[in-house]
């Protein structure tokens, strides 16, 4: 219609009609404007929707009851789906399907309803489709009706922060780890000027150094002010070596903490060359104080004598090698001293091991005071010490002269009496000295030569010094060969027992003392004092005693099977050390049972050293064996250690008067008085008395007159093989000749 009106040109409308036309024109313009605004709104909405759809954050709209209404592409992808429709169809319950902890959704909605919005709400959720666990931060607001204010729905955004949470967690764990580590992590940089820049120190350094981290990093030298002054050179040297070679740094050193505590630390780090030429180290410092203390304790046990704290035999070998190396480098000879204390065994046996130990400790102190700090004083074991002196002169002659001076100084110190309470022990030592040059022998050879020289000094009367002479090597070689031959004889049981008769007061052969003999295939009969000393030096005493007992018991068993010899007795010598051994009693009991002998015919002889041992232990063992009938004799009675009180404490059956007293009966009033006293004491205690080394009829008559029970010596016979002894024992003229002699003397 408007189109028709507008086509009538020049047609004049009435006034009312004109107003209506104006109103119509305004309406038309408004419609046109509205349509333009709608197009603009639709374009903006499309642009906004496109923007929301392409945001990297997930955008959603949900109903108030938690039903998903819409989701942009980012949220669809975050949940593992391809399209919004697929996501909306799959999601049924956001709380139970999406959140790892469903209660977390309740907390979210509680804040939303209370405040109307939620900001940066962090939760762990599942990717809805794949069920992978991820972390998100979520913000949302409630949308209200513009006019009524009624809540319509809520909308919000979701952003994945899994990587951030993981990193934060790792940082937290790393912080906990480093703060609880017993050591500390570090990263430092060192330039050509060797100034240190500290890039990182973990909290563990505060525990290590007992000072705040700020104070540690304030300086330029890191540990320098804490490092023990004696270790600083090696500490900086380790850094320089690592800097130059780019090899890993691994160094142990001591520090003194801020509170004055000493610690051992170990620094381990890997170097990295930077573009500017500097070197960066990433590493770890640990407290190794406990391990170091344990290692030092182990080293002390392995290389030091626990009593004197001196180097032991093992460390001594290293010190000798070091001295020889020093000698070759400086071309200045050194000297090795082998020291054996005189009469130590007597002191130890009579006064007890505690006094003996105190004496050894004092001797070690005296020796240390006689030498320089750089010299070595070591204990070989027992009463043997070794001293090594370096740099004694420009020639071996000068070194020998200096060695003699030093040796006499040590001997003078060792001569001072050793005093403990009322005890006063006259101390001395025998010393062997060997001078070594740059081309000299190995350590074992030097010790051997010094040992040979020491025996020369001891043989010359003790309390003196002997300088090694090459000519002595022949004699030492002979001794070594003899020892090897003796070992072989003991192993092959080619040693033999010979028997010296013991005569009773009626002139009959009552039995014999079994004496060990060694018939060497080349040297003939070797004296007992020689091979027994070899056995003691080589530690063969126990083995030797077992051989004597086994041979003696077997022989006695043979005698008891023959009525003519069944009444004979046999005495065997046993060392106190062997008797004190843990297996001795069972060994002897097994022998007695095996051979089924009458044990009362067997007598075990001890020397008076038994008086200086643990008498309770010895008495218990003696009583255990006496229950089977075995007898015990105290040999060499009267020479030093016995007393009536001590003699009564042990269950002996007889005493054996030392031959040195019997020998001088005819010439010494004192010996005669002593022998009479011994015989009277034996009679009082109900003990048999045996006299050995009887060589004359006058000696025999004296002993007989004062009550001696048995007589033994060359007057009757020397020790002889078993066959000869049995013939001697059966001969009737033996008893007759002895009886006649006794009657004649009477």
Q: Give the C-alpha distances (Å, rounded to integers) separating 727 from 734, 739, 741.
A: 10, 19, 21
Ranges of each domain in the chain: 56-166, 181-294, 310-468, 482-745
Contact criterion met (CB below 8 Å) for 362 and 418:
yes
Q: Looking at residue 552, what is its pLDDT? A: 94
What does the block give as tokens for 505?
């007061």
With cut-offs at 50, 70 and 90, classify the pLDDT of residue 9. Answer: very low
Alpha carbon 186 to its chain centroid, in Å, reads: 32
Query: What's the CATH number of domain 310-468, 3.30.70.270, 3.30.300.30, 2.40.50.140, 3.20.20.80?
Result: 3.30.70.270
Contact criterion met (CB below 8 Å) for 429 and 340:
yes
> Residue 505: is its pLDDT beyond 90?
yes
What's the pLDDT tens digit per position in 457-475?
887 778 889 888 776 666 6
Question: For the structural domain made of 56-166, what CATH number should be given?
Answer: 3.30.450.20
Cα–Cα distance measured from residue 308 to residue 328, given in angstroms and rounded to the nearest whole number:
31
Tell me which of 457 and 688 has the higher pLDDT: 688
> In the predicted model, what is the mean pLDDT of residues 124-134?
86
Reference 377, options 459, 305, 445, 299; nearest CA is 305
What does the block give as tokens for 349?
């046996």
> Residue 257: is its pLDDT beyond 90?
no
> Residue 46: is its pLDDT beyond 80?
no
Tell me which of 533 and 262 has the higher pLDDT: 262
> In the predicted model, what is the mean pLDDT of residues 183-195?
73
> Residue 407: is its pLDDT beyond 90?
yes
> Residue 52: is its pLDDT beyond 50?
yes
What's the pLDDT tens digit per position in 603-630?
999 875 655 556 777 888 889 999 889 9
What's the pLDDT tens digit per position in 697-712?
999 999 999 999 999 9
Output Rg (C-alpha) for the chain, integer angstroms: 53
With cut-offs at 50, 70 and 90, classify the pLDDT of residue 16. Answer: low
- SS3 (DSSP) at 193: coil
Indicate the length of the chain as a whole number.
746
With cut-offs at 50, 70 and 90, classify the pLDDT of residue 12. Answer: very low
Percent of the chain's residues with pLDDT above 70: 82
Which of the 8 DSSP states describes residue 153? E
56-166 and 310-468: identical CATH topology: no
> In the predicted model, what is the mean pLDDT of residues 388-394?
88
With cut-offs at 50, 70 and 90, classify the pLDDT of residue 8. Answer: very low
Cα–Cα distance measured from residue 197 to residue 279, given in angstroms and rounded to the nearest whole number:
10
* Three-state SS sequence of 416-444: CCEEECCEEECCCEEEEEEEECCCCCCHH
What's the pLDDT tens digit per position in 340-382?
998 887 787 778 888 889 999 999 999 999 999 889 999 988 8
Q: Give the C-alpha distances (Å, rounded to integers) separating 337 from 273, 344, 359, 618.
A: 55, 18, 20, 38
Query: What's the CATH number of domain 181-294, 3.30.450.20, 3.90.226.10, 3.40.50.2300, 3.30.70.270?
Result: 3.30.450.20
Q: What is the pTM of this model?
A: 0.46
Q: Looking at residue 694, what is its pLDDT? A: 95
* Lowest mean pLDDT, pick from 104-113, 183-192, 276-285: 183-192
What's the pLDDT tens digit per position in 589-598?
999 999 999 9
Q: Looking at residue 6, what is its pLDDT? A: 41
> Residue 501: is its pLDDT beyond 50?
yes
Which of the 8 DSSP states describes residue 145? -
Q: Looking at residue 197, what is its pLDDT? A: 75
Cα–Cα distance measured from residue 273 to residue 281, given in angstroms and rounded to the nearest whole number:
9
> Residue 683: is its pLDDT beyond 60?
yes
Which fold, 482-745? TIM Barrel (3.20.20)
DSSP 74-136: HHHHHTT-SSHHHHHHH-S-HHHHHBSSTHHHHHHHHHHHHHSEEEEEEEEEE-TTT--EEEE
């Amino acid at each position: 219609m408007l189109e028709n009106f507008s086509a009538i040109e020049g047609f004049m409308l009435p006034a009312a009609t004109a107003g209506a036309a104006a109103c119509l024109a305004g309406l038309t313009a408004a419609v046109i404007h509205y349509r333009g605004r709608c197009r603009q709104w639709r374009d903006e909405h499309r642009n906004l929707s496109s923007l929301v759809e392409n945001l990297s954050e997930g955008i959603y709209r949900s109903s108030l009851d938690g039903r998903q209404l819409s989701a942009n592409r980012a949220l669809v992808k975050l949940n593992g789906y391809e399209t919004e429709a697929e996501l909306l169809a799959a999601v049924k319950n956001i709380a139970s399907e999406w959140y790892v902890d469903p209660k977390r959704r309740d907390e979210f909605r509680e804040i939303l309803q209370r405040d109307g919005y939620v900001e940066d709400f962090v939760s762990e959720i599942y990717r809805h489709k794949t069920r992978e666990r991820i972390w998100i931060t979520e913000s949302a607001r409630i949308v209200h009706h513009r006019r009524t204010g009624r809540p319509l729905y809520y909308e919000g955004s979701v952003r994945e922060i899994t990587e951030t949470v993981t990193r934060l967690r790792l940082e937290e764990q790393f912080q906990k780890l480093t703060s609880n580590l017993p050591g500390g992590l570090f990263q430092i940089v060192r330039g050509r000027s060797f100034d240190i820049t500290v890039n990182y120190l973990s909290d563990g350094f505060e525990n290590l150094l007992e000072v705040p981290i700020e104070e540690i990093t304030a300086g330029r030298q890191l540990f320098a002010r804490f490092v023990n002054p004696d270790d600083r050179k090696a500490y900086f040297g380790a850094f320089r070596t690592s800097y130059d070679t780019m090899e890993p740094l691994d160094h142990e050193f001591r520090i003194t903490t801020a509170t004055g505590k000493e610690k051992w630390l170990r620094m381990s780090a890997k170097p990295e060359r930077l573009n500017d030429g500097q070197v960066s180290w990433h590493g770890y410092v640990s407290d190794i104080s406990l391990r170091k203390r344990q290692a030092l304790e182990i080293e002390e046990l392995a290389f030091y004598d626990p009593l004197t704290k001196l180097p032991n035999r093992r460390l001594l070998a290293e010190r000798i090698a070091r001295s020889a190396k020093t000698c070759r480098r400086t071309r200045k000879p050194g000297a090795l001293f082998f020291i054996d204390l005189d009469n130590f065994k007597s002191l130890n046996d009579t006064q007890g091991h505690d006094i003996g130990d105190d004496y050894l400790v004092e001797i070690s102190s005296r020796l240390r005071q006689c030498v320089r700090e750089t010299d070595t004083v070591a204990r070989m074991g027992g009463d043997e010490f070794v001293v090594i002196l370096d740099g004694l002169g420009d020639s071996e002659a000068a070194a020998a002269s200096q060695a003699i001076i030093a040796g006499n100084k040590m001997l003078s110190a060792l001569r001072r009496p050793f005093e403990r309470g009322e005890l006063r022990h006259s101390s001395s030592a025998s010393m062997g000295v060997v001078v070594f040059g740059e081309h000299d022998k190995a350590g074992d050879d030097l010790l051997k030569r010094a040992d040979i020289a020491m025996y020369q000094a001891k043989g010359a009367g003790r309390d003196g010094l002997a300088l090694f002479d090459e000519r002595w090597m022949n004699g030492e070689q002979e001794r070594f060969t003899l020892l090897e031959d003796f070992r072989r004889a003991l192993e092959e049981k080619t040693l033999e027992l010979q028997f010296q008769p013991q005569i009773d007061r009626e002139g009959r052969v009552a039995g014999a003392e079994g004496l060990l003999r060694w018939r060497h295939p080349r040297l003939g009969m070797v004296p007992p004092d020689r091979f027994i000393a070899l056995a003691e030096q080589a530690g063969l005493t126990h083995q030797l005693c077992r051989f004597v007992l086994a041979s003696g018991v077997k022989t006695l068993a043979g005698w008891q099977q023959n009525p003519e010899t069944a009444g004979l007795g046999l005495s065997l010598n046993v060392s106190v050390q062997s008797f004190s051994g843990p297996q001795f009693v069972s060994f002897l009991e097994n022998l007695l049972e095996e051979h089924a002998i009458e044990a009362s015919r067997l007598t075990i002889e001890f020397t008076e050293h038994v008086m200086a041992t643990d008498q309770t232990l010895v008495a218990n063992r003696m009583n255990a064996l006496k229950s089977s009938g075995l007898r015990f004799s105290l040999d060499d009675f009267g020479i030093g250690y016995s007393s009536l009180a001590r003699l009564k404490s042990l269950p002996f059956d007889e005493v054996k008067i030392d031959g040195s007293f019997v020998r001088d009966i005819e010439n010494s009033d004192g010996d005669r008085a002593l022998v009479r006293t011994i015989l009277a004491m034996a009679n009082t205690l109900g003990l048999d008395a045996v006299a050995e080394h009887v060589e004359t009829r006058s000696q025999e008559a004296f002993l007989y007159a004062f009550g001696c029970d048995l007589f033994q010596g060359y007057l009757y016979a020397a020790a002889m093989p078993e066959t000869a002894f049995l013939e001697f024992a059966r001969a009737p003229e033996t008893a007759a000749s002895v009886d006649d002699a006794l009657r004649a003397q009477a």
